[in-house]
Amino acid sequence: TLSYDLTQGEESEQKLYVDTTDYIQNYYNQARILNRSAAQFAVGVFQRRLASSTYALLCSLKKRLDKLDTLIAKIRAGEITMEQLAQRQRRLDDDARDPFDATADEEGTEGGREEHELEEEKLLEGVVAVSLSQLLVERGKVESLIHLAQRVYDRGEESKFEKLRELLRLERFANEKVIIFTEHRDTQTFLLRRFEGLGFTGRIAQINGG
């Protein structure tokens, strides 16, 4: 097990880690009264993606923003009432399950996507707020996190990847094939792009459950 230090500063991995942790603790703890299990699993999704890569977290935050925008638009159009919003919270808990409860061998696929990916998406659709004003506040927070995550990603400073690249440059790996495992397909996409940028185009095979 190898450790690495997160980048520091106002636009850094450490800042993104702190702000994302603050978001999931504050907003998803509010939902525990109505959908305790779903909130707990949703927190796990964000935490796992945060630990996986900045890009994986960025993808999840963008999905969350899309869900919030859809809900806000439907409420403003009178398609969803506040009571229906609360009902969505309660109903989600009945169907919620841990996306990583099964092993890869036990998982099924649907439309080229792995089972845990579909479960993650369902959890990201979960409603935390019980009013339009709360949804708007959460939307502002998520949008702020997306901007920070995008800036961190655009800087190209990924401490975990730098540690990986450092290892692969060691003499003992010079002529070796290497297998890299990751939980998230978004992180797999990120790794492919980074390695191709380092000159490994055509020398990488991708395998996933889809």
How confident is the model at residue 127, as a pLDDT?
Answer: 66
pLDDT at 33 over 50: no
How confident is the model at residue 150, as a pLDDT?
Answer: 96
Reported as a pLDDT band with limits 50, 70 and 90, residue 91 is: low
Q: What are phi and psi of 103, to 5 degrees?
A: -80, 165
In 15-126, the DSSP E strands lie at 109-110, 113-114
Q: Which residue has better confidence, 210 or 61? A: 61
Minimal CA–CA distance to 91: which of 134, 129, 127?
A: 127
Q: Which residue has better confidence, 55 or 99? A: 55
pLDDT at 209 over 80: no
3-state secondary structure at position 151: helix
Q: Per-residue pLDDT tens for 35-47?
A: 566 777 777 888 8
How confident is the model at residue 42, as a pLDDT?
Answer: 76
**Calpha distance 64→45 (Å, rounded):** 12
pLDDT at 68 over 60: yes
Percentage of the chain with pLDDT > 90? Answer: 36
Mean pLDDT of 56-85: 90
> In sequence order, what DSSP letters do the residues of 98-145 get, joined into one string?
-TTSS-TTT--EETTEEHHHHHHHHHHT----SSHHHHHHHHHHHHHH
H or E element, residue 97: none
pTM for the full predicted model = 0.81
- pLDDT, the chain, mean: 82
Q: Per-residue pLDDT tens for 145-199?
A: 999 999 999 998 899 999 999 998 899 888 889 999 998 889 999 999 999 998 8
How confident is the model at residue 34, as a pLDDT?
Answer: 47
Q: Which residue has better confidence, 167 or 122? A: 167
How confident is the model at residue 100, as a pLDDT?
Answer: 53
At how many degrees (to 10) do helices 54-76 and 36-52 cross? Answer: 140
Half-sphere exposure of 197 (CA within 13 A, CB side): 9
**Calpha distance 191→158 (Å, rounded):** 11
Q: Per-residue pLDDT tens for 98-118?
A: 555 555 554 455 556 666 677
**Counting beta carbons within 10 angstroms of the beta carbon of residue 25, is it exposed (0 to 12), middle (13 to 18) or buried (19 or more)?**
exposed
**Calpha distance 166→154 (Å, rounded):** 21
